[in-house]
Amino acid sequence: MKVVVLRLGHRIFRDKRLTTHICLIARALGANSVVFTGEEDNSVIESVEDIVKRWGGPFEVKYEKNWRAFLKKNSDLELIHLTMYGLPYQDCISEIIKSKKDKLIIVGSEKVPSEVYHYAKYNLAVTNQPHSEAAALAIFLHELFEGKELDKKFNDSELKVIPNKCGKTIIKSK
């Protein structure tokens, strides 16, 4: 199952760190790539590519100017929009896991165009409280991959952490 994350409406000044976090969450928790729309921002791409270079891949991040065209081009993917206004994800997650279709998970920033709610097969909430698209994405991926993403292996990494009870152990393998 391939999972692409679409981050809508990136704003360079306001969202730089959050969009970068969203990319790193997607990578660490089993997604294959992030596509972001809104303002073009090479610094996000550079930060994420630097992490992939050092910590391993494969993982891709791309900018896409036209999100409508992107959605149309990817209409074969099962479209899941994470929103605090949606249905509880826990009511649909088994069905989504079972379908085994490749997924496109959409997370917005400030305001998501109402069209997105209509394009989506699922509009799903990780609680109906205001919190964070980063947290919603993390919990959703964790549930989608049923915890197996925690053991994901990365290829061609320069750095690797050895779990430590009290401190930091990093191995440089290149």
Residue 44 to residues 27, 31, 95, 110, Cα–Cα distance (Å): 14, 17, 34, 18
> Is residue 107 at the binding interface for a second copy, with CB under 8 A as the rule?
no
User: Measured from the CB of residue 55, what is the shortest distance to a second copy in angstroms?
Assistant: 6
User: Measured from the CB of residue 98, what is the shortest distance to a second copy in angstroms?
Assistant: 19
**Which residues inside 28-87 make contact with a second copy, applying CB under 8 A?**
28-29, 51, 55, 84-87
**Pick 19 or 37: Cβ nearer a second copy:** 19
* Number of shown-chain residues binding a second copy (CB under 8 A): 54
Q: Name which of 147, 140, 173, 152 is nearest 59 in CA terms.
A: 152
The window from 3-11, 68-76, 94-102, 110-118 that contacts a second copy (CB under 8 A) reads 110-118
Residue 33 to residues 24, 25, 62, 86, 97, Cα–Cα distance (Å): 10, 11, 8, 24, 19
> Is residue 131 at the binding interface for a second copy, with CB under 8 A as the rule?
yes
Residues that bind a second copy (CB under 8 A): 14, 17-18, 21-22, 24-25, 27-29, 51, 55, 84-88, 90, 114, 117-118, 120, 123, 125-132, 134-139, 142, 147, 149-150, 152, 154, 160-170
